[in-house]
Amino acid sequence: MRLLVTAGPTREPLDPVRYLSNRSSGKMGYAVASAAAARGHAVVLISGPVALPPPPDVRLVRVNTAAEMLGAVQSELADCEALIMAAAVADWRPVFIAGQKIKKHAGNLTVELEPTADILRHIKSDKGARLFVGFAAETGDPLPAARAKLQAKGLDFIVANDVSRSDIGFDVDHNQVTLLHVDGRTDHWPKMTKKETAERLIRELELAVKAQSGGAAG
Ligand code: PMT
C-alpha cells in the first residue's frame, strides 16, 4: 500500500519568536510510519516540528503550520490508498501575526484566535475508496467524542486516546487506545508501546483493505 501519515504538532506563529502549539512529540505518528515501512508499504510522513530522527525508508515532508499541513496532505493524497492522521493539528491560530517581536509592556495582552482549517473535514470529499484513519485526543472518557468525530470527519476508523493521563498519550513511549470502526465495532487495546500500537494499527488497516477488495489483496 501507499500510505500517508501525519505526525506531531503544528505551530501557529504569533510573532517571529512566539507560537501557539501543543504537547505532541510526534512519537505516535512516527511509530505508525515506521511500522508501515517495516511491513513493506510505501510511506509518506508529513511531520510537524518534532525532535525525532526521520524513520528509515519513509519519505519525510516537514511542515510547521496547520495550513502547511493541509497543503501537504492535499498534494500527497492522490497517490495514496490510506491516510492516517496522528498529527495534533492546532485548532486555532492568531488572527494577526506581528512582523516584529511584540514588545513586553505592562498589563495584559489579548490575542484574537481564529479556527484553522480542519484537514480531515476539508479533504472528506476527496476520500474516494481510500481508507481514512483519525486519532481522537480527549481528556477523560474519549469514546463519546471519538464516535462523533468518526462520523463528522468521514473516517473508517478512529483511534481514541485519553491525553489526560501521564503514562499514555502525549510525549511518552506508551499508549492505550480504543479502535472505533465505522461499522460500530469497538476494540479496547491494552496499554502497549507506541511501536506495538502502531504495528497493530497497520495490521488492522491491511485487513480492512483486504476486506474492501473482497479478499484479493495481500
Ligand atoms: O505525538 P505524541 O506525543 O506521540 O502524542 C500522540 C497523540 C496524543 C498526539 C496522538 O495519539 C493523537 O491523539 N493524535 C490526534 C490529536 C488530535 O488532534 O486529536 P483531535 O481529537 O483534536 O482531532 C481528531 C482528528 O482530526 C485527528 O486525526 C486530527 O489529526 C484531525 N484534525 C484535527 C484538527 C484539524 N484542524 N484538522 C484535523 O484534521
Supply the pTM of this predicted model.
Answer: 0.97
Nearest atom, ligand 1, residue 171 CA = 3
- Over the chain, what is the mean pLDDT? 96
Q: Is 5 in the pocket of ligand 1 (CB under 6 A)?
A: no
Tell me the CA distances in angstroms from 134 to 138, 161, 190, one per residue in order.
13, 11, 19
Among the listed residues 89, 57, 58, 93, the one whose alpha carbon sits nearest the alpha carbon of residue 73: 89
Q: Is residue 102 part of a domain?
A: no
Nearest atom, ligand 1, residue 169 CA = 8
Q: How would residue 215 be classed by pLDDT, with cut points 50, 70 and 90?
A: low
- CATH number for the domain spanning 124: value is 3.40.50.10300
Q: Is residue 147 part of a domain?
A: yes
Q: What is the pLDDT of residue 218?
A: 44
Closest residue by Cα to atom 10, ligand 1, is 86
Q: What's the grid cell of residue 115?
A: 479556527
Q: What is the pLDDT of residue 166?
A: 95
| Residue-number span of the structural domain to which 26 is assigned | 2-91+112-213
Q: What is the pLDDT of residue 214?
A: 77
Q: Is residue 170 part of a domain?
A: yes
Q: State the Cα–Cα distance between residues 64 and 200, nearest whole angstrom.
A: 29
Q: Is residue 198 part of a domain?
A: yes
Asked if 131 and 202 touch (Cβ cutoff 8 Å), the reply is no
Q: What is the pLDDT of residue 100?
A: 97
Mutate to test the pocket of ligand 1, among 68, 120, 172, 201 (most ligand atoms within 8 A of CB): 120
- For the question of residue 175 being annotated catalytic, the response is no
Q: State the Cα–Cα distance between residues 184 and 190, nearest whole angstrom.
A: 19
Asked if 13 and 100 touch (Cβ cutoff 8 Å), the reply is no
Q: Is residue 172 part of a domain?
A: yes
Q: Is residue 98 part of a domain?
A: no
Ligand 1 centre from 101 Cα, in Å?
29
Asked if 45 and 33 touch (Cβ cutoff 8 Å), the reply is yes
Specify the number of domains making up the chain: 1
User: CB under 8 Å to 124, separation ≥6 — which residues?
Assistant: 153, 154
Q: How would residue 74 be classed by pLDDT, with cut points 50, 70 and 90?
A: very high
**How would you label 206-215 residue by residue, b for 16+ Cβ within 10 Å and e otherwise?**
bebbeeeeee
Q: What average pLDDT does range 88-95 have in this prediction?
A: 98
Q: What average pLDDT does range 178-189 have in this prediction?
A: 96
pLDDT surpasses 90 at 154: yes
Among the listed residues 62, 68, 75, 121, the one whose alpha carbon sits nearest the alpha carbon of residue 93: 68
Q: What is the pLDDT of residue 70?
A: 98
Q: What is the pLDDT of residue 212?
A: 84
C-alpha angle 88-93-94 in degrees, rounded to nearest 5: 155
